[in-house]
Structure 1
Amino acid sequence: MGGSSGCDHTNRADDKPSLVVVSGDTAGWIVPCGCTTNQSGGLLRRGSYLQQLSEQANILYLDAGGALHGTSPYDVAKFEAILQGEQTMGITLHNIGSAEASLGADQLRRIEESLGDEPLFLSANTRDSAGQSLGIPSKIVNVGSRRVLVIGVLSPSFATEEVRIGPPQKAILDELARSKEEGGHDVSIVLAYLPEEELRELASQLPEVDAVIGGPTGQAIAPEPSGPLLLASATNKGKFLITLTLPSIATPKLTGQVIEMTEEFAGAQSQQENLDRFYKELAARDFTPEETSFEPAWSAGGASAHRVAGSKSCRKCHQADCDVWEHSAHSHAWQTLQKTGSQVDSYCQQCHVTGFGVPGGFVSAKRSPDRVNVGCESCHGPSQQHVEQPEVHTFHFKNAVSTCVRCHDPENSPQFDYGTYWPRIEHGTKGTL
């Protein structure tokens, strides 16, 4: 095998096959939002898949990086919950991706220390401003009878003032040489959080390794030959995992496949418990929009022109329209979150409240209970000025339809069609929305 110690271990007899499973680019997608059917991904399904595999194979579980969405307090809390979920699944190493690096060395070290004594973060080419590594550069893990060398790297394009990133190829070659000096390995796998063009270029320069598994490539890449090695990518909100089968007598070559985390994988109970703990933490911390990385529903503007007044202020002049709204799903949007407990999650709140992060709008579940549900201003825009001066229309008065796709996007509402949906809530004077 490329990059091995030179020993042929394919004739060892194992009772079970040995597999390497790699996730990546979870991007905060701890669970599918649930706004539509057939959504993929989520830690509950990932846990179920790994649990099924562990019953019939030796498993090495790794993550290629990119687990969080941003650096806000909300994002950090979710990142910690994702890592705790990964630990429950038996993860061995979590490569540092761009999102992890953006937290900075101190934050990463604090998080790692809170998770236990064993090193979790992997990175051969990242350093802090003092020259200290952000993670261990590599590790040899015994998987069945195989000695698997795992190396992690990050693209230099993600360097920051605090995080320095060296050339990935050199870092990898250094770790291969170090492994050879310390007794060698049977299989070498590189977790490389690099954009696709860089990823493919790196793979072409590394005939010494057996597999390069990437991260932010937009869409997952099923394992494919790249010279003598296998190239693959686990990405897209953790919806796709890469599963490699290590060489054996039955299959003397390293093989792999991409697995989509669909509804066929029932949620693992241990991951549901982890999700419940996370929701409990969110309920206690009651994050405001300013404590997240999510954009406000509208950009800031004049104090009156861009201030939410609340749906109750509409009823005096728009009684019939309000009656239509009260019988629509929009007026019960918050209750749909309560059914799953996700009403505490800012990611879900964005599209189930009125004026997320806007003056006069939704602040948090505890602090603005009168701004839950998708009210009139979610589509028509802040109306405080209109309430004070009825002749001044809200700024979405003639183009409310344009606001639909902010929440009814391809991810959360793939079947959305304005011509089909509008009759369900039709109100007002045609041509003036």
Structure 2
Amino acid sequence: PVRIAFIGLSDLPPDDFKGQVSASGFMVEDPLAVAKKELAEVQDKADVTVIVGYLKRGTVNKLAQQNADLDLIINADGTGITLDPMQINNTLIMYATKETKHLGELRFYADADGDIERFTVRYVELDEVIADDATLATMTKTARKEIDAVQTKMAEDEAALIAAKIAVDGLPPSSFVTSEKCAQCHKAEFDKWQKTRHAHAFKGIETRQRIYDAACVGCHSVGFKQAGFINIKATPQFANVHCESCHGAGAEHAAKPEKGKYVTPAAPASCVGCHDRDNSPDFVFEKYWPVVAHGNLKVAPAIKPTVKAKKK
């Protein structure tokens, strides 16, 4: 049998904490120094040495450069950018994909002495065909409840501060007016919008307990980080995907409609910012456009859809 030693490392806590013992009893130390010490301890006990890390890429490269006996590094770094497997000196380096949407599979083939002769790598997409692990699903659900409780309290505090400021200074200016304002002149388009999932988009992240997740709310609201949606407690009127999510902020047009037409033409580029491969893997522009199309708006023919349905 092949003996494999796993060493876990992280270098993401601030340098200020190095050398201090946390409330949980963990000591934060230099990962490069720790790696040398741990690798020396397992050198005669393992045929293959693996570091599993949450490390900056510079640290990963240094680990490979400084430790000739290190066989493999499996790393995640939170950047959302997945690199192809690479090799530095004797060390193979693999990166996990973002948001745990893929399962990385590494197969290595060792000779009689335990030395790696060759390897194969593949990433398996964890789509709806592959069921969730029951234990991890329970852990994830519990964690999301705890995170949601903390984020809800933060949102309530933020909403209270905003309400206090409004009481003194009045409503802050916003370039967004919501679909209800658009309906005063564009009732047919508004009626069509109300029948689409755009009009109820926020429910999707409510179901998943992600209503305070900045990575999600931008595509389920209007004007996030642009003087529009802040959070559901403070600015509920900007929840959901409104007219202005696709056509741009409308306050100026609503104030002076006599100045003429205002519209950012809808096109594939308007959609794929949110309906991308990660978040809408089954999205096909030509299929879903008729569901939301209204008025005389035309698709810009020069822009090609960049998201296609995944193959089953």
Is the 1:287–1:364 Cα contact (8 Å) retained in structure 2? no
Cα deviation per residue 1:223-259 (whole Å; 9 max; x = unaligned)? x8877x45131322153566789999x9955789666
Match of 1:95 in 2: 10
Amino acid at match of 1:410: R
Alignment partner of 1:400 is 2:266: yes
2:206 corresponds, among 338, 342, 352, to: 338
For the residues of structure 2 that align with 1:94 and 1:203, how far apart are their CA atoms?
A: 14
Alignment deviations for residues 384-417 of structure 1 (CA, whole Å, 9 cap, x no partner): 111111144687x143323222211221123333
Paired position in structure 1 for 2:22: 113
Report what 1:383 is aligned to: 250
Q: Corresponding residue for 2:96?
A: 235
Query: Which residue is equivalent to 2:45?
Result: 186
TM (norm. structure 1) is 0.51
User: What corresponds to 1:272 in structure 2?
Assistant: 141
Q: Distance in 2 between matches of 1:365 and 1:277?
A: 18
Distance 1:336 1:314 in 2: 24
1:349 aligned partner: 217
The SS at the match of 2:283 is coil
The AA in structure 2 aligned to 1:390 is: P
In structure 2, C-alpha distance between the alignment counterparts of 1:425 and 1:344, rounded to whole Å? 26
Partner of residue 365 from structure 1, selected from 232, 245, 250: 232
Mapped partners of 1:246, 1:422: distance in 2: 46
Percent identity between the two aligned chains? 22
Identify unmatched segments of 5+ residues in structure 2.
Answer: 159-171, 301-312
**Alpha-carbon RMSD:** 4.3
How many residue pairs align between the two structures?
Answer: 272
Q: 1:392 to 1:283 in 2, by over 3 A?
A: farther
Is residue 151–residue 212 contact of structure 2 (8 Å, CA) maintained in 1? yes
Partner of 1:211: 72
**Aligned equivalent of 1:82:** none
Given residue 387 of structure 1, which amino acid in structure 2 is its aligned partner? A
Which whole-Å CA distance do the structure 2 matches of 1:276 and 1:415 have between them?
28
TM score, norm. by length of structure 2: 0.68
Structure-1 separation of matches of 2:288 and 2:114: 55
Deviation at 1:372, TM superposition (A): 0.8
Deviations 1:196-229 (A, max 9, x none): 9x9679747743333333446943656x8877x4
Distance in 1 of aligned mates of 2:288 and 2:123 = 34
Give 1:412's aligned residue. Answer: 279
Aligned to 1:281: 150
